[in-house]
Structure 1
């Protein structure tokens, strides 16, 4: 056989031998890669499970935190309301007619609101010395008293306690000489925002000076 024919056969034989050897060498590496991929897939699956667990735990903690925050807020609101109620329960005022000096108010031809300017006590800040009106800060039973007087002979003295626009009790006195005085008291059930004040009776008058003869007082008995 010629040499030119033998060379291609040798090259072909070497090529086949090399390919077989390469396949045999690569086979373990492929198995290792497959095992590594399988291990990585299992690890990713485990991580996904752990992430879902952590997400669920975070959601539960967030829900508990939200619930706890709401409970703390609710308790704070209750405490604030209790503090307000305790403050509101302390309601009392007492005032006399004139802020300074002495003199008589009236008589007038119609009902005229009396403004008691000299405020001795105003616990709860429910009495307005500029208008003479007491405004109930909370629903409850309130007791009011008023004392009025004037010098006799000229005119009578009279004042009626008004709840919003309703006349309740009146203090009235008339005598021909000396100093005449009258007083009255009443307990009223008031809603929040109800107004209470005194009106001078038409044709009457009221006197006051630094000794505070004519006064208007009230206080909360209990809440409802």
Structure 2
């Protein structure tokens, strides 16, 4: 079965089995909280409407094998640790460390997971307090259904 999916620049036809999203962060994050969900607030692509910019959660619309990647960027002299979480369980971690005098630092991670309909996936900061992440559309969170 096919469906028409609208994007700001075009209309394309895709199978309902296709799922893909990509979102970025428009603003800096800086606080002393040790753990919290990162809400990537600007949608680039959201085929299948699985990603929610209000909650920062991707809800799996159909069973399958999914690939996720995310990139973070720290401010000068800061460290920012993140992890990809599925239904409350950490699956993969990422680190950006500019704490040794570098201007900025980035970190990227990718993971492939077998997921089921209605599983919840998000990125959260963990462990370290007092750090900051640079926004301005540099950081991003993306995912797609592989099979």
Give the TM-score taking structure 1 as reference length. 0.56
Structure 1 distance, partners of 2:86, 2:44, is 22
2:19 to 76, 79, 91: 91
- Alignment correspondent of 1:111: 35
1:197 maps onto 2:122 in alignment: yes
Aligned residues of 1:112 and 1:200 also touching (Cα < 8 A): yes
Structure that is richer in helix per residue: 1
1:208 maps onto 2:140 in alignment: no
Q: Higher relative contact order by CA 8 Å / sep ≥ 6: 1 or 2?
A: 2
Structure 2 distance, partners of 1:169, 1:133, is 16
Q: What is the Cα deviation at residue 174 of structure 1?
A: 1.3
User: Deviation string for 1:167-198 (max 9, x for gaps)?
Assistant: 01111021222111101000111111000000
Q: What is the Cα deviation at residue 151 of structure 1?
A: 1.7
How many residues were matched structurally?
A: 133
The equivalences for 1:130-209 within 5 A come to 130-153=54-77, 155-175=78-98, 176=100, 177-201=102-126, 202-203=128-129, 204-209=131-136
Structure 2 distance, partners of 1:168, 1:90, is 23
Task: Note the aligned Cα RMSD (angstroms).
Answer: 1.8
Q: What is the Cα deviation at residue 83 of structure 1?
A: 5.5
Any stretches of 5+ residues in structure 2 without a counterpart?
A: 4-14
Aligned residues of 1:157 and 1:173 also touching (Cα < 8 A): yes
Larger radius of gyration: 1
Structure 2 distance, partners of 1:198, 1:139, is 20
